[in-house]
């Protein structure tokens, strides 16, 4: 069977880390299986969906590297949903209800108070034609519910194994709103059917929904797809993830300077039995993807761990992968400079910081080593400098001063860069150059 999956966000907000994980699992599975990846905008909620979010979602997905093979949006398929709804009404599976939202809320509260599950009482089903006509005459408009068969629905979930949901314990889902617009369930099932979706991959918050959806597929005469429900992310404390837990949107993460591959690596490996580590390419992530590796328990989203993955990704990144971005940041020095500083980066923008340290101006830190630094300045070899200049120079400084180890090197680093830590000076020194090096060793800011 050929694989087609879909990622179906509703354009009511930005893509966040949770969404991203779902998108990634879908995309990875599609690539692994040689299948197709459909991006479907679930925009049936006209009040909350916006074109701006729809664009942002596509932009963020592209940034991450998740190209889609197919694209669709539900707002353009309403005629199709209308036709299906007519069929379901004719079959007696879709029935009219007239309670207002407030009345339903009261019913639920009453049930809860009596210790009962808040399930719809199917009052709509008891209405006669006369009742309905009377309600309509009062100006009431019907919303429509899907009549569930009171049975156990079973499926073999690709990550959770055998699942069973008792539909007798569920409310008949509302498929059509009072204003005639559609809720998520019907368009989603109809689209999955029409697009030939083979695997519905989503978060475990949809587990209970799956049973009514399977019944809907069957009511449509369709064979339900396979289902895979991954666990959700929680915050560092183990609680529900919310905006207060940091930069959760892809947009925020990009602005914080995280590399797309770092975000993808983290999102694709957290909650799996593979180690959380940077992958330089998507194909590396595709190669190791397997539903069997997904854990059934929630995983903690830790922004600090993401930052660590980002740093380690950069430490191993080839110059070619960042060349364009370095130019944009105003960082020169080519590959040699990149290789000199990449091990000291947290984000790519830090490369600019080191470039500025090389080119100045830098306030040298001399302390009480003025005499020593001045002597070292006098021993600076003539240019041109290369990777060996540093060791030639420090060897002669060591000989002249009898210093070695920390006493030999530390004052030079402080004078040359103004700080105690940084890239290896053997590789970094040529970018400072003789003129600046001599000035800084003599305490001058250049």
Partner RNA sequence: GCCCCCAUCGUCUAGUGGCCUAGGACGCUGGCCUCUCACGCCGGAAACAGGGGUUCGAGUCCCCUUGGGGGCGCCA
Minimum separation from the CB atom of position 202 to RNA (A): 9
Q: How many Å apart are CA 247 and CA 51, to the nearest integer?
A: 23
User: CA 255: distance to chain centroid?
Assistant: 14
Q: Which is nearer to RNA, 174 or 220 (CB)?
A: 174
For RNA, the closer CB: 12 or 87: 12
Rounded distance between C-alpha atoms, residue 370 and residue 374, angstroms: 6
| Phi/psi-derived region of residue 423, left when phi > 0, alpha when psi is between -120 and 50, beta in every other case | beta
Tell the smallest beta-carbon distance from residue 271 to RNA (Å).
Answer: 4
DSSP H or E stretch at residue 137: helix 129-137
Nearer to RNA, 1 or 177 (CB): 177
Nearer to RNA, 37 or 182 (CB): 182
Residue of 347, 327, 325, 351 lying closest to 338 (CA atoms): 351
Q: How far is the CB of 116 from RNA (least distance, A)?
A: 7
Q: Closest approach of Cβ 47 to RNA, in Å?
A: 8
For 392, residues 6+ apart whose C-beta sits below 8 A from its C-beta are 381
What is the C-alpha R_g of the chain? Answer: 31
Sort strands 143-146 and 174-176 into parallel, antiparallel or unpaired.
antiparallel
CB nearer to RNA: give 117 or 378. Answer: 117
Residue 376 tokens, joined = 């070292």
Q: Minimum distance from CB of 407 to RNA (Å)?
A: 9
Which structure tokens are listed for 92? 């007696």
Give the residue with the Cβ less far from RNA, 221 or 304.
304
Whole-number minimum distance, CB 300 to RNA, in Å?
A: 4
275 close to 281: Cβ distance less than 8 angstroms: no
């Amino acid at each position: 069977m050929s694989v087609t999956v879909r990622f179906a966000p509703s354009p009511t907000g930005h893509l966040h880390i949770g969404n991203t994980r779902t998108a990634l699992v879908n995309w990875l599975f599609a690539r692994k299986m040689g299948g197709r990846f459909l991006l479907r905008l679930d925009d049936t909620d006209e009040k909350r969906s916006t074109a701006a979010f729809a664009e942002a979602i596509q932009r963020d997905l592209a940034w991450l590297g998740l190209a889609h093979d197919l694209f669709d949006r539900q707002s353009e398929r309403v005629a199709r949903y209308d036709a299906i709804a007519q069929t379901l009404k004719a079959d007696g599976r879709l029935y009219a209800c007239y309670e207002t939202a407030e009345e339903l809320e009261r019913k639920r509260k009453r049930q809860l108070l009596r210790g009962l599950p808040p399930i719809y009482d199917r009052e709509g089903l008891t209405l006669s034609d006369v009742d309905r006509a009377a309600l309509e005459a009062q100006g009431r408009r019907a919303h429509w519910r899907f009549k569930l068969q009171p049975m156990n629905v079973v499926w073999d979930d690709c990550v959770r194994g055998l699942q069973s949901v008792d539909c007798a314990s569920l409310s008949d889902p509302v498929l059509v709103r009072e204003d005639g617009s559609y809720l998520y369930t019907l368009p989603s099932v109809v689209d999955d059917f029409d697009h030939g979706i083979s695997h519905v991959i989503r978060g475990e918050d949809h587990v209970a929904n799956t049973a009514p959806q399977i019944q809907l597929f069957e009511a449509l005469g369709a064979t339900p797809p396979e289902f895979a429900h991954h666990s959700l992310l929680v915050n560092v404390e183990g609680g529900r993830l919310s905006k207060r837990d940091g930069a959760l949107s892809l947009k925020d993460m990009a602005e914080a300077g995280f590399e797309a591959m770092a975000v993808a690596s983290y999102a694709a490996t957290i909650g799996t039995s593979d180690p959380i580590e940077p992958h330089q390419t998507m194909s590396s992530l595709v190669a190791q993807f397997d539903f069997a590796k997904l854990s059934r328990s929630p995983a903690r989203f830790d922004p600090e761990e993401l930052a660590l993955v980002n740093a380690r990704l950069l430490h191993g990144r080839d110059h070619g992968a960042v060349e364009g971005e370095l130019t944009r940041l105003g960082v020169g020095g080519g590959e040699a400079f990149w290789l000199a500083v990449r091990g000291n980066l947290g984000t790519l923008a830090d490369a600019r910081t080191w470039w500025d340290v090389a080119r100045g101006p830098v306030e040298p830190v001399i302390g009480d080593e003025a005499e020593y630094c001045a002597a070292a300045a006098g021993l600076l070899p003539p240019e041109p400098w290369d990777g060996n200049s540093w060791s030639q120079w420090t060897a002669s400084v060591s000989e002249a001063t009898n210093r070695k180890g920390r006493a030999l090197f530390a004052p030079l680093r402080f004078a040359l860069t103004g700080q105690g830590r940084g890239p290896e000076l053997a590789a970094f020194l040529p970018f400072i150059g003789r003129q600046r090096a001599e000035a800084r060793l003599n305490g001058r800011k250049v």
